[in-house]
A and B are shown apart, each in its own frame.
Chain A
């Protein structure tokens, strides 16, 4: 099970630039490491992270072996309508995760 922490400001004014943050707990295995028996640990990274704001895609990240464990992202969106900021991601093993947070926009 994937654990993540997301930070979306609960309130914003229309047109305001709001900061969105997400941290996902994930080992981000590079595929270059070996276990104690010399067997290669298969690559397992969060390869796709998608953020939707009221259904529309606003941010996408494709990550690989160069990203450290427990990836953390911070970006900005323009507040338009009240609604949800939804994240979804998937790793190389096909394990999926999702998180969302509401935002109330006032005029």
Chain B
């Protein structure tokens, strides 16, 4: 049944007009089984690096994030700690629930967006640039407080449309290579793509240190790398497409433990 749903979607992409009468039938999204974190597909060295909080280079960003948390910013002269106090208490489990719909703007927001919203509205400071060391540091520090907790996003009437858009991106073929996310990450995880083992494509370690990048990167940077891999047009980091996809992927990795700040090859 599930397979048939995917095939139907692919057919839809090809002969969209011919069977538009059936397009009301939604794709049945599914989670890969057994659900496995990307670290289970990594080599022993990468695993050792992620497990050791000192030698993990990602912890450098956490150290910086902790500093930034306590530093006043913007015209308000407030730091994150002024309102949120000790992040180890107030931010516990927070990142596991993102992305979520912000009650003020009614828009889907991820953790990076939420931090910038706090900066512009409450601290009256300039928003931090996506992929800047500062934003990565703060996201990593806040994310660390949820490490070990299961990813837990709720799909409800508010974010249903975002979820469906993200799901459609996941199952739609794209780029010159003409592959959808599902072709690698649902059907072929555990198998080799050149010298890499294909993972299930979960976002639970991000922001993570990637050895290939030699630096920390956000989940959106990682998603863009996959778009690049199939030679598709790259959506900008923080764009609606990537936010919707991030929500769908969070639903897909529901129950996996947050590993922020992770280490990946």
Tell me how many residue pairs across A and B have CB atoms closer than 8 Å: 36
Say which residue of A7, A21, A70, A74 sits within 8 Å of B60 (CB atoms).
A70
A5 interface contact, C-beta 8 A: yes
Interface residues of B, count at CB 8 A: 11
Q: Is the CB of A70 within 8 A of B57?
A: yes
Q: Is the CB of A72 within 8 A of B214?
A: no
User: How many angstroms between the C-alpha atoms of A7 and B63 in the bound complex?
Assistant: 13
Interface residues on A, range: 10 to 19
Q: Is the CB of B64 within 8 A of A3?
A: yes
Contacts of B59 in A (CB 8 A): 5, 23
Question: In the complex, which residue of chain B has the Cβ closest to the Cβ of A69?
Answer: B214
Q: Is the CB of B54 within 8 A of A68?
A: no
Q: Is the CB of A70 within 8 A of B214?
A: yes
A88 interface contact, C-beta 8 A: no
Interface string of B148-160 (1 = CB under 8 A from A): 0000000000000
Contacts from A to B (Cβ < 8 Å): 3-5, 7, 21, 23-25, 27-28, 68-70, 72, 74
Contacts from B to A (Cβ < 8 Å): 54-55, 57, 59-61, 63-64, 67, 214-215
Beyond the given A3-B63, A25-B60, A69-B214, could you list 20 further A-B residue pairs with CB under 8 A, ordered by the A residue number? A3-B64, A3-B67, A5-B54, A5-B59, A5-B63, A7-B54, A21-B54, A23-B54, A23-B55, A23-B57, A23-B59, A23-B60, A24-B60, A25-B57, A27-B215, A28-B214, A68-B214, A70-B60, A70-B215, A74-B55
